[in-house]
Amino acid sequence: MKVADLYIRVSTDEQADKGYSQRSQEELLRKYCDINNITVRRVMFEDHSAKTFACPEWKAYLLELKKHKRKADVVLFLKWDRFSRNTGDAYQMINTLRKLGVEPQAIEQPLDLSIPENKMMLAFYLAAPEVENDRRALNVIHGMRRARKEGRYMGLAPIGYVNKTDEAGRKYIAIHEPQAGILRWSFEEVAKSVYNTEQIFKMAKAKGFRGTKSLFWFAIRNPVYCGKIFIPKYKDDESRFVKGLHQPLIQEDLFYQVQDV
């Protein structure tokens, strides 16, 4: 009878994904072992990303295998991306395990790695999740740039504004008092050049400004307050400002007066 170690790996951001929870993986692996008459020796739970094998549980497992070779015949996991998402690291680890007398195998993507052509399939299984992640990240970047080009502010609202969502589910920022009023007063005072910025910050704090000095300095340089949205450079698309859809806190000429000061 074959002896197996079960390897269950799930990173924090995957906990809620269907089929990736630790409990779900363990149930499927144990069921597979029952059907195939395989004895389960131990179960390993890893809550780190599959980008690297430098994880506590896996390092302890390798150390145990080196001290006590051939305690298990196979190490089983659900899919190859649970084993690794780095093709080079995966091949090296497969060779390491084989030298220790253990054969790695994904129960939902079984491969006989003694057949050379199957290594091409293994490369696909390992690379596909990374390609999917890269495509998702690219879609997010393009989506955020498109929103900015439309004049929508993306991210946490700056002080003096608050994040809201309209009836269509689109996010936007709205003026939020009393911080908006304090900032408006601050812009006007800086433009007068009667007091220096340090003094104005202290007066703003006395009025109820809820931020640090660095946040105050950042705010009086932020074009969002005069209704502008900055679009950073991306590939051949040059950086620029567009008119925002949100309500400006101050007039544009006042903002540039403050920048001159």
Of 17-26, 32-41, 130-139, give the lowest mean pLDDT range.
Answer: 17-26
Identify the top-confidence range among 47-61, 118-132, 187-201. Answer: 187-201
Structure confidence by residue, pLDDT tens digits, 147-184: 899 999 989 999 999 999 988 888 899 999 999 999 99
Domain boundaries, the chain: 3-133, 153-260
Predicted local confidence at residue 44, as pLDDT? 92
Per-residue pLDDT at 242? 95
- Number of Cβ within 10 Å of residue 58's Cβ equals 20
Is pTM beyond 0.75 here?
no
Q: How far apart, in whole angstroms, are the C-alpha atoms of residue 242 and residue 22?
A: 46
3-state SS track over 164-188? EECCCCCEEEEECCCHHHHHHHHHH
- Find the mean pLDDT for residues 200-204: 97
Give the count of beta carbons closer than 10 Å to the beta carbon of residue 200.
Answer: 21
Percent of the chain with pLDDT over 90: 61
Once rounded to an integer, what is the mean pLDDT over residues 188-196?
A: 95
Cα 152 to Cα 141: distance, rounded to the nearest angstrom: 14
What's the pLDDT at 254?
Answer: 97
Percent pLDDT > 70 in the chain is: 95
pLDDT, one tens digit per residue, over 61-102 is: 999 998 887 789 999 999 998 888 778 888 899 999 999 999
Residues in CB range of 11: below 8 A, 6 or more apart: 47, 48, 49, 50
Distance CA(230)–CA(152), nearest Å, equals 10
Which pair of tokens denotes residue 50?
A: 């599959």
Assigned CATH topology for domain 153-260: Hect, E3 ligase catalytic domain fold (3.90.1750)
Which pLDDT belongs to residue 47? 79
What architecture (CATH level 2) is domain 3-133?
A: 3-Layer(aba) Sandwich (3.40)
Helix (H) or strand (E) segment spanning residue 112: none
- Kindly state the average pLDDT of the residues 43-47: 88
What is the C-alpha separation between 104 and 137, in angstroms, rounded? 30
Report residue 18's pLDDT band, with 50, 70 and 90 as the boundaries.
very low
Task: Give tens-digit pLDDT for 22-33.
Answer: 888 999 999 999
Largest Cα–Cα separation, the chain: 87
Model confidence band, residue 136 (pLDDT cutoffs 50, 70, 90): confident
